[in-house]
Amino acid sequence: MGGEEFNESYSYLIRLNQQGAEIASSGSQYDAAAGSNSFSLESLKWYADGHAEQEGNRDTWLERLAYALARDYTVNVTEAHAHETA
């Protein structure tokens, strides 16, 4: 979002695997006068063994995601495969 003088972008992660689930968000800002800055926002992890870790608020994460989806966006989907070693 933004223009040449000031812009910002946000990334939203949703990861599901056998170990659990994770949602996270991060972003970056660019100001022509100050340069660029990257930052982390909310991060929530739920593990298969029942424990959880949280930085920030789940509802805030969902609000940020809803805001971003109302704008122009790009979705990247990747599939990670577990590798077994002998």
Hey, what are 36's tokens?
């660029």
For the chain, state the CA radius of gyration.
Answer: 16
Selected residue with higher pLDDT from 75 and 36: 36
Which residues have a Cβ under 8 Å from the Cβ of 24 and sit 6 or more positions away? Answer: 12, 13, 40, 41, 42, 43, 44
Average pLDDT over residues 3-31: 89
- Nearest alpha carbon to residue 61 among 47, 79, 73, 45: 45
Whether 13 shows a pLDDT value over 90: the answer reads no
Whether 38 shows a pLDDT value over 90: the answer reads yes
Selected residue with higher pLDDT from 18 and 2: 18
* Single pTM value for the model: 0.65
Q: Give the pLDDT confidence score for residue 86 in this predicted structure.
A: 45
